Amino acid sequence: MSTEANAGEVLSGAGPGPADAGTPAGPPSEGLERVLATLRLDSIRNRILALAIVATLVPALSTAVLSYRQNRAALTANLNGELRSRGSQGAREVDLWVKERSYDVRVFTGSFEMSENLDRIRQGGAGAATATTRLRDYLVGVHGRFTDYQELLVTNADGRVVASSNDPPGEVTLPADWLVRLRRGESVLGDPTWSDELGEVAATLAAPIGSSDARFLGVLAATLTFRALDTILATVTPGEGGRIDLATGDGLLLAVSQPASAGSGPVRLAPETLGRLTAAEGVTAEYTDRTGTAVVGTLTPVPGLPWSVLAQIPSAEAFAQITDLRNSAFILVSILLVVVGGLAYLLGAVIVRPLARLAQGAGAVAAGDLSVDLPAGGRGEVGYLTHVFNDMVARLRESREELERLSVTDILTGLHNRRFLIEAFEKEIQRADRRERPFCVLMVDVDRFKAYNDTHGHLAGDQVLVAMGRVLRDATRELDVLARYGGEEFIVLFPECDLDNAIRAGERIRQRLAREELEHGPVTISVGVAEFPLHGDTTAEVIAAADAALYEAKSEGRDQVRGAPRPKEEAEIRRKASKRSAAARKKRA
């Protein structure tokens, strides 16, 4: 029997007639026909349907699996970046909080009430008891206003407790060399330990107490708790169910963004968890947290402290997008199996238009336009591709902005460079003309820098320049413009500042540098000050006046601040400046 005849019989539903009863077995295709009939694929319609289902199902499932893997890898990379960012932000918040507490303690030690009474106690005599009472009352008063400290305790120069805000006083828990370091003027932060009395982790922060003639009188030791950090860390938690924890090097938790139920002792990270996070070296690690939840997290060190910030998010939340993508893929396959034709048309419309937008966007980016921001293309592969494309363009924008920032920044000191200064100068001249407000320029030069550099080497000279950048930032306002003008010369631009105040600011900078501890000994600076418009109407004139005042300071012995002399025609200069400001305001109106 021919294949064509057999197919015709299947289609017509007719069986073999009596004349066929003795016909021998047909070719192997007859066995295939019987199998197809068993599977109810004996009609062309069903065969076409089966072929369509197979042709749709195989590539659809293959694509879904590949997309799942790619998206999981990309999501893991994004998650790593998010957790590292939140961890770094948390570390900065912790570092700032510790610095603020250290500053508080330094302020307390600078009180006249503190040093005067401690000095009287040291001298002994009839006034010692009164001084002790007054010192204790001062500590109690301060303790009542600052809730971050559980106790404020003062010792004498030998480390013996003389007064405390608590009764009875606690113990000083500090490193073995704490008195030696405090005598050198350093602040000392002890290791955090669990306090059964407080029912929480605490650490001792100590600062030296000195007299007006710089004698070491004793120590103020403040017992810190970390409850305030719980609230601070809660502001930077990743996702809805994420957490930010602060831990010591051995895993002791100091603060948590989501406190667990009250316990009777310290909470520590499991050794295997700590080891896995440490081995991950800044990338995400998957583990089970202290509540038994599967999480993904990263460990970020806190600058200058033996602590780390643990940023973590539940795995279910972290990979929710992947779960949604998987479910969407199964739904898509089901729809494809039911309405292959209609869905093919729909997918053509859904996919081609976003791809065309991506192509146009890519062309615009290639032409240099980084303002491209494509609309979201849904939750499928094209939507994810659109999201990645937008993220890529955003990163390119950030890179361009960073390059622009670096182009106006001095790499060594972190201050602005000469190019930025000149632009800022011109803007400040325009603003000063509009508002009829003066501004001042300080030209700062490190005294005998070449000799220092030749004697101690270029590395030591670079350390001096870096210290100058730090001193200028510490001694000026945020709105002031700081720039390295060239070599060892620096310029500070003080908006809305007159000559007298600028001279005082220069003296403050000079005194601040005198306190800077450098490896090869102290250095001094000479400072020249000039005012706009008193000493010139242009950038070059004002800088030249400040430079002349600087060289006058150097010629008179260095290590001093000199202002440019006030011209005899000062009144006329200011009258002209006022007239110019009025004209500028009229032009703007």
So which residues are the catalytic ones?
488
Residue 196 DSSP label: T
CA separation, residue 192 to residues 204, 341, 401 (Å):
8, 68, 41
Q: What is the rounded CA–CA span in Å between residue 96 and residue 304?
A: 11
Q: What is the rounded CA–CA span in Å between residue 165 and residue 136?
A: 6
Render the burial of 517-537: b for 16+ CB within 10 Å, e for the rest. eeeeeebebbbbbbbbbbbbe
Closest CA relative to residue 530, chosen from 517, 518, 543: 543
Q: What is the rounded CA–CA span in Å between residue 397 and residue 193?
A: 46
Please check whether residue 204 is in contact with residue 187, taking contact to mean a CB–CB distance below 8 angstroms.
no
Q: What is the rounded CA–CA span in Å between residue 285 and residue 287?
A: 7
**Alpha carbon 389 to chain centroid distance?**
24
10: exposed, middle or buried (Cβ count in 10 Å: 0-12, 13-18, 19+): middle
Q: What is the rounded CA–CA span in Å between residue 284 and residue 295?
A: 10
- 3-state secondary structure (DSSP) of residue 219: strand
Q: What is the rounded CA–CA span in Å between residue 72 and residue 49?
A: 34
For the record, the structure tokens of 340 come out as 């292959």
State the amino acid at position 572 in one-letter form.
Answer: E
Q: What is the rounded CA–CA span in Å between residue 374 and residue 360?
A: 10
- 3-state secondary structure (DSSP) of residue 109: helix
Q: What is the rounded CA–CA span in Å between residue 102 and residue 104?
A: 5
Please check whether residue 250 is in contact with residue 308, taking contact to mean a CB–CB distance below 8 angstroms.
no
418: exposed, middle or buried (Cβ count in 10 Å: 0-12, 13-18, 19+): middle
Q: What is the rounded CA–CA span in Å between residue 198 and residue 280?
A: 35
Closest CA relative to residue 372, chosen from 350, 352, 355, 396: 396
Please check whether residue 179 is in contact with residue 219, taking contact to mean a CB–CB distance below 8 angstroms.
yes
Give yes or no for a cis peptide into 168 (omega within 30° of 0).
Answer: yes
Please check whether residue 122 is in contact with residue 216, taking contact to mean a CB–CB distance below 8 angstroms.
no
Please check whether residue 59 is in contact with residue 33, taking contact to mean a CB–CB distance below 8 angstroms.
no
**Alpha carbon 455 to chain centroid distance?**
39
- 3-state secondary structure (DSSP) of residue 440: strand
225: exposed, middle or buried (Cβ count in 10 Å: 0-12, 13-18, 19+): buried
